[in-house]
Amino acid sequence: SGNNESASSLAVPFNSAVTAGHLILVAESTYDGETLETPTDSLGNSFAQLVIAGVNSSDTAVIAVYGATANTSGSDTVTCHISATNNIHCHIYEVQGVTPTVDKTGNDQLFVYSQVVSTSDATANPVDYIFGFFADNYQASTFTAGTGFGDSELSNSDGDDSAFSEDEVVISTGIQTATATNGSG
């Protein structure tokens, strides 16, 4: 993951080579009325927007999650883009054994320290991958992952905004819930 409080793009390299056929997830956030733009990467993968959340206004965070199936194996750097020079956060994941098909989504804009987001409907798959992404505009929050979640990433900027991502594989159907507790309050 990475962040920059005065940029319109941000390049984040994977620590090791990605594998063809794996899912590449990219989560972006910004605020102050900026527009998130589709990420690019050095392998030429085509990203599709999976989720967008938040109100794109001058005082709230806006986030989007994009996915692409890696078309080739090799070193990869993902570049996130926004419409103007401002705060930008970029979190990248490589996930094996899942597809970029979104089963169910959930999003909410909350002004509380404990964040809970649940899927809009029950999932029908017995094994689902859940990815949660949270953004904060003013608190420079330090989040704690929800029960069962791992692979968490946190990016805080000097401008008091932050972004947090987490994931898990669940083994039951039903409403799926991602939680994160903000340690700033």
pLDDT in tens, 65-86: 899 999 999 999 999 999 888 8
Lowest mean pLDDT among 10-14, 23-27, 175-179: 175-179
List, for residues 131-185, the tens digit of each pLDDT value.
777 666 655 556 666 666 665 555 555 555 666 667 777 777 777 777 666 654 4
CB 86 within 8 A of CB 34: yes
Per the DSSP assignment, residues forming a β-bridge with 2 are 90
pLDDT at 185: 41
Give 124 or 161, the one with higher predicted confidence: 124
What are the tokens at 53?
Answer: 């959340």
Query: Looking at the chain, which runs of residues are DSSP E strands?
Result: 2-13, 23-31, 36-41, 48-53, 61-69, 77-95, 114-118, 128-136, 143-145, 150-156, 162-170, 177-182
pLDDT band at 41 (very low <50, low <70, confident <90, very high): very high
| Cβ-Cβ contacts under 8 Å for 26 (sequence gap 6 or more) | 39, 47, 65, 66, 67, 68, 78, 80, 90, 91, 92, 93
pTM of the model: 0.75
